[in-house]
Amino acid sequence: MNNDFGPDSGLFLRSTEEGMAYQALIDYHADGYLMGLYGERFPVRFSEFNFQFLDRPDRIKPGNSAFPLPVSPDLWPDFWKHGTWNTLRARITGNPPTIDTWINGVHFMNWTGKEKVLGDKGGIALQVHGGNFPPGLDLTKLFVRYRNIRVKVLDATAK
């Protein structure tokens, strides 16, 4: 991922035709989160994140998750490389699901649902829908970029 700071994006896991999905958040904007989780169009929504951006991509604060933030806010500018490629990864297993996410090889989130909301299978999708833009910003000059996208089917018996 090498997105501009501003757009709101995500990775949908087990997405339905109606757009319900577990979303690995890629909300790369002020007050946004990376690789936290959200229940997109769930009857009872949830949001789990262990850090939140402040006004710039090099400034973060702790979030609402019990899963500990693996990179302290003061080390974030050396860990996250704004303006260049960073690696994001997500894995969903079981149902109720366990979802794990990684940023640049570091485990950022582990979450297990309490109930079965979606089926055992579903689509994988990249999502973008605007963002948290400052007034007067030219939206035609902000981009969401992905490359080297890989999908791996996991063995159902693997943990």
**CATH at 80:** 2.60.120
Do 126 and 15 contact (CB within 8 A), yes or no?
A: no
Asked if the structure places residue 127 within a domain, the reply is yes
What is the residue-level pLDDT of the chain in tens, covering all 159 positions?
999 998 889 999 999 999 999 999 999 988 999 999 999 999 988 899 999 999 999 999 999 999 999 999 999 999 999 999 999 999 999 999 999 999 999 999 999 999 999 999 999 999 887 655 667 767 677 888 999 999 988 876 655
The residue ranges of DSSP E strands in 21-120, in sequence order, are: 21-27, 34-40, 47-48, 51-53, 60-62, 88-93, 98-103, 106-112
Domain assignment of residue 113, given as a range: 7-141
pTM: 0.90
Counting the structural domains of the chain, the total is 1
For residue 131, being part of any structural domain is answered with yes
